[in-house]
Amino acid sequence: MLSLFATCARGVEPLLAEELRAIGASGVRPARAGVGFAGDLRIAYAACLWSRTASRVLMPLAKVDATDADALYRGVLDIPWEQHLAASGTLAVDFATDTNPAFRNTMFGALKAKDAIVDRLRDLFGERPSIDTAAPDLRVNVRVRSGSATVSIDLAGTALHRRGYREAGVQGEAPLKESLAAAMLLLSGWRETAAGGGALLDPMCGSGTLLIEGAWIAGDVAPGLLRSHWGFSGWLGHDAEVWDDLLADADDRAEAGLAKLPPVSGWDADPDAIALAEANIARAGLRGRVTAGVRGVDAFAPPAGVSSGLVAVNPPYGERIGEAEAAEALYRVLGERLRAGFQGWTYGVLAGDDAHAATLGIVPGATHALFNGAIPVRLDTGRVPEPVAPDVTAGVTAFANRVRKDYKHLSKWARREGVTCWRVYDADLPDFAVAVDLYDCSDGVRRVVVAEYEAPSEIDPVAAGIRLKQATAAVADVLDVAPAEVRVKVRRRQRGEAQYERIGQAGRFHEVRESGARLLVNLDDYLDTGLFLDHRSTRGMVADLARGGSLLNLFCYTAVATVRAALAGAESSVSVDLSNTYLDWAKRSFALNGLDLAAHRLVRGDVATFLSDSAAGEGGRYNVIFLDPPSFSTSKGMEGTLDIQRDHATLITSAARLLADGGTLVFSTNFRKFRLDEAALTAAGLTWEDITTSTIPPDFARNPRIHRCYLVRRG
613 alpha-carbon distance from chain centroid = 30
pLDDT of residue 498: 41
pLDDT (mean) for 92-99: 89
Banded pLDDT at 154 (limits 50, 70, 90)? very high
Residue 17 lies in a domain: yes
Asked if residue 678 and residue 637 are part of one domain, the reply reads yes
Residue 517 lies in a domain: no
Q: Are the CB atoms for 127 and 174 separated by under 8 Å?
A: no
User: 346 is in which domain, residue-wise?
Assistant: 178-219+260-383
Whether the predicted pLDDT of 493 surpasses 60: no
Asked if residue 566 and residue 543 are part of one domain, the reply reads yes
Asked if residue 422 and residue 309 are part of one domain, the reply reads no
pLDDT tens-digit map of 628-667: 999 887 654 445 678 899 999 999 999 999 999 999 999 9
Asked if residue 144 and residue 94 are part of one domain, the reply reads yes
Asked if residue 475 and residue 347 are part of one domain, the reply reads no
277 alpha-carbon distance from chain centroid = 29
Residue 166 lies in a domain: no
pLDDT of residue 622: 96
Q: Which CATH number characterizes residue 443's domain?
A: 3.30.750.80
Asked if residue 692 and residue 576 are part of one domain, the reply reads yes
CA angle 249, 253, 255 (to 5 degrees): 120
Asked if residue 140 and residue 88 are part of one domain, the reply reads yes
pLDDT of residue 458: 52
Closest CA to 297 of 340, 358, 355, 346: 340
Asked if residue 555 and residue 680 are part of one domain, the reply reads yes
Asked if residue 125 and residue 9 are part of one domain, the reply reads yes
pLDDT tens-digit map of 105-114: 788 999 999 9
Find the helix packing angle between 209-218 and 271-283, rounded to 10°: 30
Asked if residue 551 and residue 676 are part of one domain, the reply reads yes
Distance CA 337, CA 325 (A): 18
- 69: helix, coil or strand? helix
Distance CA 488, CA 591 (A): 30
Domain end (from 332, 348, 383): 383
Banded pLDDT at 492 (limits 50, 70, 90)? low
Burial of 378-415, coded b for 16+ CB within 10 Å and e otherwise, reads bbbbbbbbeeeeeebeebbeebbebbbebbeebeeebe
pLDDT of residue 616: 58
Mean pLDDT of the chain: 90
Whether the predicted pLDDT of 491 surpasses 80: no
Q: Count the domains in the chain.
A: 4
Entry pTM:
0.60
Distance CA 455, CA 135 (A): 51
Distance CA 310, CA 284 (A): 21
Residue 160 lies in a domain: no
Whether the predicted pLDDT of 284 surpasses 70: yes
Q: Using alpha carbons only, how large is the chain's radius of gyration in Å?
A: 29
pLDDT tens-digit map of 535-558: 999 999 999 999 999 999 999 999
pLDDT of residue 26: 97
Distance CA 343, CA 424 (A): 38
Distance CA 699, CA 423 (A): 5
Pairing state of beta strands 375-383 and 346-351? antiparallel
Residue 503 lies in a domain: no
pLDDT of residue 524: 85
Closest CA to 358 of 463, 249, 505: 463
Residue 334 lies in a domain: yes
632 alpha-carbon distance from chain centroid = 16
Residue 164 lies in a domain: no
- Looking at the DSSP bridge assignments, the partners of residue 139 are 92
- 359: helix, coil or strand? helix
Q: Which CATH number characterizes residue 269's domain?
A: 3.40.50.150
In order, the DSSP letters of 524-566 are SSBSS-S--GGGHHHHHHHHHHHTTSEEEEES-TT-HHHHHHH
pLDDT (mean) for 329-341: 89
Distance CA 683, CA 399 (A): 51
Helix (H) / strand (E) containing 689: strand 686-690
Asked if residue 371 and residue 406 are part of one domain, the reply reads no
Q: Which CATH number characterizes residue 15's domain?
A: 3.30.2130.30
pLDDT tens-digit map of 428-478: 888 888 999 999 999 999 999 999 886 655 566 666 777 888 889 999 999
Residues 6+ apart with CB under 8 A from 525: 502, 503, 504, 505, 506, 507, 508
Asked if residue 621 and residue 557 are part of one domain, the reply reads yes
Residue 170 lies in a domain: no
Distance CA 576, CA 354 (A): 30
Neighbouring C-beta atoms of residue 516, cutoff 10 Å:
10
Find the helix packing angle between 106-125 and 69-77, rounded to 10°: 40
